[in-house]
């Protein structure tokens, strides 16, 4: 077992699944709460979109939190699941949330794409030509505009619904000390906002510790922020991040 804990920063209930996956590889996990997610009340435009979701040709869901917002809206506005929903998700974790709640097929980037990213999703053949198609994009407040912009450039009429917002949290004295003293085997981050936020507390020693990230885009950001050892996982799922931790730090059977 690793002598130092693995620090995870995933917000909300999804942190528990990531912790279990990393613990199954033989590591102790320390959680840092750096961000809170808050669901937003419906606007009139949002209610109209939910009531007419069956009129969209495609529904693209950005994150597990966005998936939870979609599921909750469908429960409120549709006594029965609308027929013919064509769902897309950026990653397996988001797809899993949708499938478990709705029991419908969810399209995701192919396994051979290497990473679960917006860019990989945009490579799907069914998202190349979208002339006159209505696409609903379910996302959080803010974030990257790449997906919506690319879908619109391919001819889609994109409606974006923001169902939650993120709020950065100040670190507790204990967690700030963990970063300042680099008292961990690896830091696991799957959000650019969280990475930039935590960098404020990272000392030179912390910048030299392994940083496990969920995409090459985050690895590039990490390098710009001064992190020396970014490790790119195959995606943001608990299994992908835990596997990256295992190959970077002590293996499961280490003494």
* Predicted confidence (pLDDT) per residue in 13-22, tens digit: 889 999 999 9
Residue 162 tokens read as 């923001």
Q: Coil, strand, or helix at residue 23? A: helix
Residue 117 tokens read as 């990213």
pTM of the model as a whole = 0.84
Distance CA 243, CA 25 (A): 8
HSE-CB at 220 with a 13 A cutoff on CA atoms is 3
The pLDDT, as a whole number, for residue 143 is 76
Nearest to 136 by CA among 39, 222, 60: 60
Distance CA 198, CA 207 (A): 11
Which of 145 and 242 is assigned the larger pLDDT? 242
Q: What's the pLDDT tens digit per position in 100-132?
A: 999 999 999 876 656 678 888 999 999 999 999
Going along the chain from its start, the domains and CATH numbers come out as 6-34+171-248 (3.40.50.10090), 38-166 (3.40.50.10090)
């Amino acid at each position: 077992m690793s002598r130092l804990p693995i620090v995870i920063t995933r917000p909300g209930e999804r942190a528990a699944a990531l912790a279990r996956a990393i613990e199954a590889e033989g590591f102790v996990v320390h959680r840092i709460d750096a961000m809170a997610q808050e669901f937003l009340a419906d606007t009139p435009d949002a209610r109209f979109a939910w009531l007419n979701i069956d009129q969209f040709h495609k529904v693209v869901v950005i994150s597990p939190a966005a998936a939870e917002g979609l599921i909750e809206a469908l429960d409120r506005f549709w006594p029965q699941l609308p027929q013919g929903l064509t769902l897309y998700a950026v990653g397996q974790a988001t797809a899993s949330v949708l499938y478990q709640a709705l029991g419908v097929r969810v399209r995701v980037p192919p396994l051979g794409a290497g990473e679960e990213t917006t860019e990989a999703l945009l490579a799907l053949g069914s998202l190349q030509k979208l002339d006159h198609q209505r696409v609903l994009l379910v996302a959080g407040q803010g974030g990257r505009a790449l997906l919506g912009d690319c879908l619109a450039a391919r001819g889609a009429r994109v409606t974006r619904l923001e169902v939650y917002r993120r709020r950065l949290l100040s670190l507790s004295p204990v967690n700030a000390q963990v970063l300042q003293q680099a008292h961990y085997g690896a830091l696991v981050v799957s959000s650019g906002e969280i990475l930039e936020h935590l960098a404020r507390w990272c000392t030179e020693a912390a910048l030299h510790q392994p940083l496990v990230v969920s995409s090459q885009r985050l690895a590039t950001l990490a390098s710009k922020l001064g992190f020396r050892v970014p490790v790119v996982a195959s995606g943001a799922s608990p299994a992908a991040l835990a596997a990256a931790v295992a190959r970077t730090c002590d293996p499961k059977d280490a003494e």
